[in-house]
C-alpha cells in the first residue's frame, strides 16, 4: 500500500496570519480550528503548522524558548490537542515545524550555557575563542546580515548564530544535544502529530575545525550583493557530512510511530538538489525534502526539468516535496507575473504545474486565492532582515499578511482588532467568500484540480520522463501501471503550437487554453493540456 505522504498535497498554515479569534490581531490555534473546513474543502491530505511554540518572537516563532510548550500568543496545549482531534476527524494529517538547528537566546539551555565554560550545558552550543586580535574565529556570515559570531563576556568567547543574534546554534557534535532534540520530537509524536517539517535541516552541523568559507563560485554574486551572505560558498558553516547519520536517528524514531512522516527544508544555493536526494535516499533518512529551487524567479522549461532530472538521477528511491511559495519568499503570483497576461490563468497554470511534478506538493496559505505579494511600507515592517536591507530587500512580511476571509473592507474577517500586518486592497478583493461563490474562481479550480489529481495514479506516484521540447514548452510523461498521462505546458504569455503525435483522444477538460486538431495542439497564454491516454504519444514544439 502506498504511504499517505508519497504524492500528498500539504497545506502550510502560517498561524499568525490565518485567523484571529481573541481580537489581538494575531492568528491563533482556535482560529485555525475554526477554518479547518476551508482547508479540508481543498482536498489536501495534511496541514503543516509553522511554529506555535513558546518564543520571544524575535523571528516570528523561529526562535524557540520552550520546545514543549505552546506560546500563549497562539493558545494553550488544550487548544492544540483539540486542533489535532478536529483535523483528524476531517481526514487531515498534522505536521508541525521543528526548529532544531538553533534556539532562542532565552531558552534555558542557552541561558545556562552562556554562564561559564564549566556548566552542564557548556558545550551544547557552538562556542569559540577569539583570534589573537579579538576578532571572530572565522569569516562565517549570518543569513540575516552581519557576522555569524556574537561575543559573550561571561565566557570570553563567541557563540555562533546562523540567523539572528537571538538565535544561537546548537552544537550537534554533542550527542547529548542530539538526544535532547530527539526527546522533543518524541514528545510531540506522543501528542498525536503525524510528522515534522524540519526547518533548516542542513544547518545542524558545522565544521568542527571552524574553517573559513571560500568565496562564491557564482560570478553573479560578485562583487555586489544585497546580502554579503550570498558572496560565500558555505562549505563549512552548514551542509556537513555528519548530518546524514543524525537524520538516520530521526528516521529510526519516526519509524516507531506508524504513518508519520518528515519533510526537510534544505537551504543551500550551491548543492540543494543533491542534498535533497542524499537526505531522502535509502529509506533510512528523511521521507521528503524541499529546497528553494522553485521558490525563486526561475520560470523556464529548462529550470524545472533540470532540477527534477537532477534529483531523480542522484536518487532513484528518494522523494521530493515541491513548492512554489512559502513564508520566506515573495509569492509566485508576483514573481512570475511577467510570464502571463492574466493573473487567474497564471494561478491555474502554476498549481497544475506543481501538482503534475513527480513528488509531494506543499501549498502555502493564500495560494488558492491567487494572492500577490503585498506591498508593505517601511513603517509597517516587522521582519528583521527587511529592516536591515531595505529598500533593496523588503523582507518577508509581504507574503505573511493575513488571510482575507470575508467580503468588504480589511481585515476581511481575519480579526476584530488591528491585524499585526495590514490586509491590502488587492488581497481584500480576492477574499474567500467571494471566490466560494464564483464557480470560475481560482479557489474552486484548486478544489477541482486536486480532486481530479487524486483519481490519476500516474500524477500521484508515477515515474516522470521529459520530452525534448524547446522553450517555452515544458512537456513530460507521467507513467503508471494504470496508464500514462502526458502533460504539456506553455510557460509564456504568447499563443504557441505544439505537435502531438499518437494521441487517440484530445486533452482532458481540466486543461486550459488548449485546442487540439489532429496533431496540432494550440496553447494560448499559460495554456496547458493533459492527455490521459498518454501511451505512445510523442511531443514536439511546432512554434
List the catalytic residues.
199, 265
Q: Identify which of 208, 268, 273 has the alpha carbon closest to the alpha carbon of residue 242.
A: 208
Q: Which H or E run contains 501? A: strand 496-501
Element (H, E) at 348: helix 343-354
**532582515: which residue's cell?**
385
Bin 298: left if φ > 0, else alpha if -120 < ψ < 50, else beta.
beta
Output the DSSP codes for 56-77. --TTTTSS-SEEEEE-TTT--H
CB 47 within 8 A of CB 39: yes
Write out the three cell numbers for 395. Answer: 523582507
**Residues 500-518 as b or e (16 or more Cβ within 10 Å = b):** beebeebbeebbbbbebee
Give dist(CA 369, CA 367) in Å, integer: 5
CA distances from 345 to 348, 420, 543 (A): 5, 31, 21
Q: How far is the C-alpha of 229 from the C-alpha of 74, rounded, in Å?
A: 33
For residues 404 and 374, the answer to whether their CB atoms sit within 8 Å is: no
Which of 108, 288, 273 has its CA nearest to residue 198? 288
Neighbouring-strand partners of residue 477: 465, 486
Residue that has been written with the C-alpha cell 544555493 in this structure:
269
The secondary structure of 76-101 as a DSSP string is -HHHHHHHHHHHHHTT-EEEEEE--S
Separation CA 269–CA 275 (nearest Å): 11
Show the cell assigned to 162: 546562523
Amino acid at each position: 500500500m502506498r504511504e499517505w505522504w508519497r504524492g500528498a498535497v500539504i497545506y502550510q498554515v502560517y498561524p499568525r496570519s490565518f485567523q484571529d479569534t481573541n481580537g489581538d490581531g494575531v492568528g491563533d490555534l482556535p482560529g485555525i480550528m475554526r477554518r479547518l473546513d476551508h482547508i479540508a474543502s481543498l482536498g489536501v491530505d495534511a496541514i503543516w503548522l509553522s511554529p506555535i511554540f513558546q518564543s520571544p518572537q524575535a523571528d516570528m516563532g523561529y526562535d524557540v524558548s520552550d520546545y514543549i510548550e505552546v506560546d500563549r500568543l497562539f493558545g494553550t496545549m488544550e487548544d492544540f490537542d483539540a486542533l489535532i482531534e478536529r483535523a483528524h476527524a476531517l481526514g487531515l494529517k498534522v505536521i508541525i515545524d521543528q526548529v532544531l538547528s538553533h534556539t532562542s537566546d532565552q531558552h534555558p539551555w542557552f541561558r545556562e550555557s552562556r554562564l561559564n565554560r564549566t556548566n552542564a550545558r557548556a558545550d551544547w552550543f557552538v562556542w569559540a575563542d577569539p583570534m589573537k586580535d579579538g576578532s571572530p574565529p572565522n569569516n562565517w556570515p549570518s543569513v540575516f546580515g552581519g557576522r555569524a559570531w556574537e561575543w559573550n563576556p561571561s565566557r570570553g568567547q563567541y557563540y555562533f548564530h546562523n540567523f539572528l543574534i537571538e538565535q544561537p546554534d546548537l552544537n550537534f557534535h554533542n550527542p547529548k544535544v542530539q538526544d535532547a532534540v530527539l526527546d522533543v520530537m518524541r514528545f510531540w509524536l506522543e501528542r498525536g502529530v503525524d510528522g515534522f517539517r524540519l526547518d533548516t535541516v542542513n544547518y545542524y552541523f558545522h565544521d568542527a575545525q571552524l574553517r573559513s568559507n571560500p568565496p562564491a563560485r557564482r560570478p553573479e554574486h560578485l562583487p555586489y550583493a544585497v546580502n554579503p551572505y550570498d558572496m560565500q560558498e558555505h562549505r563549512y558553516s552548514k551542509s556537513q557530512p555528519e548530518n546524514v547519520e543524525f537524520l538516520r536517528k530521526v528516521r529510526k524514531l519516526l519509524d516507531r510511530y506508524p504513518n508519520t512522516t518528515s519533510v526537510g527544508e534544505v537551504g543551500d544555493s550551491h548543492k540543494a538538489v543533491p542534498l535533497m536526494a542524499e537526505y531522502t535516499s535509502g529509506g533510512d533518512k528523511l521521507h521528503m525534502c524541499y529546497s528553494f529551487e522553485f521558490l525563486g524567479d526561475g520560470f523556464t522549461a529548462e529550470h524545472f526539468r533540470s532540477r527534477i532530472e537532477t534529483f531523480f538521477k542522484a536518487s532513484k528511491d528518494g522523494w521530493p516535496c515541491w513548492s512554489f511559495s512559502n513564508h520566506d519568499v515573495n509569492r509566485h503570483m508576483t514573481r512570475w507575473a511577467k510570464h502571463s497576461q492574466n493573473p487567474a490563468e497564471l494561478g491555474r497554470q502554476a498549481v497544475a504545474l506543481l501538482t503534475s511534478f513527480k513528488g509531494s506538493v506543499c501549498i502555502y496559505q493564500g495560494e488558492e486565492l491567487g494572492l500577490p505579494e503585498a506591498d508593505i511600507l517601511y513603517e509597517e515592517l516587522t521582519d528583521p532582515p527587511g529592516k536591515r536591507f531595505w529598500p533593496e530587500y523588503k523582507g518577508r512580511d509581504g507574503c505573511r499578511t493575513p488571510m482575507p476571509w470575508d467580503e468588504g473592507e480589511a481585515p476581511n474577517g481575519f480579526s476584530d482588532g488591528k491585524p499585526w500586518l495590514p490586509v491590502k486592497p488587492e488581497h481584500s478583493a480576492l477574499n474567500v467568500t467571494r471566490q466560494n461563490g464564483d464557480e470560475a474562481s481560482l479557489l474552486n479550480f484548486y478544489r477541482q484540480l486536486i480532486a481530479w489529481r487524486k483519481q490519476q495514479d500516474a500524477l500521484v506516484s508515477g515515474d516522470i520522463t521529459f520530452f525534448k521540447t524547446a522553450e517555452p514548452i515544458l512537456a513530460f510523461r507521467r507513467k503508471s501501471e494504470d496508464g500514462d498521462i502526458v502533460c504539456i505546458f506553455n510557460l509564456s504569455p504568447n499563443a504557441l503550437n505544439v505537435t502531438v503525435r499518437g494521441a487517440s483522444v484530445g486533452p482532458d477538460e481540466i486543461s486550459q487554453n488548449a485546442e487540439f486538431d489532429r496533431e496540432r495542439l494550440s496553447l494560448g497564454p499559460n495554456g496547458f493540456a493533459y492527455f490521459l491516454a498518454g501511451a505512445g504519444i510523442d511531443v514536439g514544439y511546432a512554434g
